[in-house]
Structure formats: C-alpha cells, structure tokens
Amino acid sequence: MKVGDGDSTIVELPDNRLMMVDIMNGRNDYSYNSQLENPINYLKQLTSTREIFRYIQTHPVMDHLDGFYDLIQGFQIINFWDTPNTKKKPDEFSNGFRESDWNSYKTSSKGKELYYGRSTETVVSNSGSYIYSIYPIAPTQEFINSGNGAEDWNSLSYIVLLVYEGFKILLGGDATTAVWEDIQKWITYNIEAKKLLSDITIFKASHHARKSGYCGSDLLKIMNPQAIISDDSVPIEESSHQNYEYFMTNRSPKGNVYSVSQNTIIADYYDYTNKKYQINYKN
C-alpha cells in the first residue's frame, strides 16, 4: 500500500479471510497528502468482520508497526506471527512514531506464534474448498541470533511466500542482501527449495528496494517473477529499483515493475484455472 516511508500489505485470502503484513499508519498526514492510503480505513472498507485472521510483523522497527495500537482497537487479530527478537523499547519516538504502538506490539500476545527456520514444508495450509500454503522462507535461527546480537533487526525480518493454485506471492519484508545470499546457497543444494522459489508470480522487493536488501541477479533469474513491486522514491545511490527494471525489461516475456510510490497497488488473482491475474493502481 502507498503509506509513505513505511510498509503495509493486505491479502484477502482465497477463503475471504484477511492476512495483514506490517502496518504503517499515523505517522503520515493523510489530509496533507491525499494519495497516501490509511490501511485501517482501507480495512474497514474492505470488510465488516473487524477480524484479521493472520497478522505478520516482519520485524520490530517502527516504520513497519506504526499504527498497531489503532489496529487492535478496531480489529481482532486471531493469529499473530512475530520473530524471536530482543529489541528493546526505543529511547525516544521521533518523526511522529508513537510509544503506544510499541507498547501494544509488545503486550499483544493473543494467538502469537513464533515461526522461523527454513523448510519446503508449508507452515499453514488451509483445508476445505480453498487450499493455500504459507511458507516462512526467512529468518533462520542463524540470522535471528546474529540480528539480535548486532541489533540488526532487518536481518531477522520475515520473508513470506504465499502459494495458491500455482499463484505465488513472495513478500520480502526488510530482509538484507546477506539473507538473500544465504537463500541462494540453500536452493543450490535443495531441489525442492529451488522449485518452490522458481516462477514467482509477484515479488515484493525487500527493504523498500534499497541496495542493502537487493536479492541479487542470480536469484532473481531463478525466481523469474512475472511482476515486481518496488519503490522508486529511494535515493538513486541507495536504490536497486533500476536493477529490477532492467531485469524485467530483458525478461521474456517482459514483466512489469510497479512502484508503491505511485499509488496503492491491487493485485487480483481472478482465474486460477488459467493462472491469470491482474495488477492495477488504485483509482
């Protein structure tokens, strides 16, 4: 979603339940910039249930959990994914970030689950008419340990893969280049892992498309995404956005790069028989 200098993704699952990955709300002045999307208002328009079936906090930094207090005031979280992190409360809350969001995040324990590790086995698979799978590709215990030790919270960010009828969405969170390099090694010696991460439909680039979160050209070729969600507002000297554009320009058939700086992006998987989908910016 176009939430400014932060991150928030909402997924309407095949069984009509909602999954939310991170929240960015409240830091931005929505009355000043009408193009920014308020994710809580968006949720209220999307559903009347006031229930989020699965909320995933990729990592404990404020531009990914800003507005969490407001979220739990209006919605019930059924399943809450969090990483085993040792991050302490920030000494100060600047740039509009709020202590209430941090406190709510730390004390919200209902349904909290700590998923990590790396496996080709699905962690969550819905039973019934609609079958989808969720794979936490990162973090591993190694990066949890190193991230906590160095207070490098991006290193223990979730990377989540959602699969439904061959349609694959890979959400990169704020994962670092070192994490992607480790994934590259993993799939080199694991045929099932390589198959799982091949032919990605939509890839949401990590760390707002910064170079420090670039997945690398070799892994990008294996993933071979049909579409990439990036961010072209990052300063060019820090950005890998052009790398994604170059890849998609030379991909056969060519794919598109969609920037979250343009507007909220809506991806709609509407025909699982023929594996068709469409992506639009919100009007």
Residue 4 forms part of a structural domain = no
Q: Rounded CA gap, 109 and 173, in Å?
A: 22
* Helix (H), strand (E), coil (C) string for 202-216: EEECCHHHEHHHCCC
Burial readout 235-250 (b: 16 or more C-beta within 10 A, e: otherwise): eeeebbbebbbebbee
Residue span of the structural domain in which 127 resides: 9-281
CATH code of the domain in which 209 resides = 3.60.15.10
Q: Which residues contact 48 (CB under 8 A, 6 or more apart)?
A: none
Number of domains in the chain: 1
Domain membership flag for residue 208? yes
Q: Return the pLDDT at 32.
A: 40
Mean pLDDT per 10-residue interval, the chain, length 283 residues: 65 84 67 62 82 92 91 91 92 87 84 73 68 91 96 96 91 96 96 96 93 96 94 90 95 89 76 73 66
- pLDDT tens per residue across span 44-73: 888 788 899 899 999 999 989 989 999 999
In a domain, 239, yes or no: yes
Res 272: pLDDT: 64
Q: Is residue 2 part of a domain?
A: no
- pLDDT score of 40: 82
* 222 within domain boundaries: yes
Q: What is the pLDDT of residue 265?
A: 75
Q: Are the C-beta atoms of residues 176 and 154 closer than 8 Å to each other?
A: yes
The confidence score (pLDDT) of residue 259 equals: 86
Residue 75 placed within a domain: yes
Residue 10: its pLDDT value, please? 86
| pLDDT of res. 28 | 47
Residues sharing a CB contact under 8 Å with residue 196, sequence separation 6 or more, in sequence order? 120, 135, 161
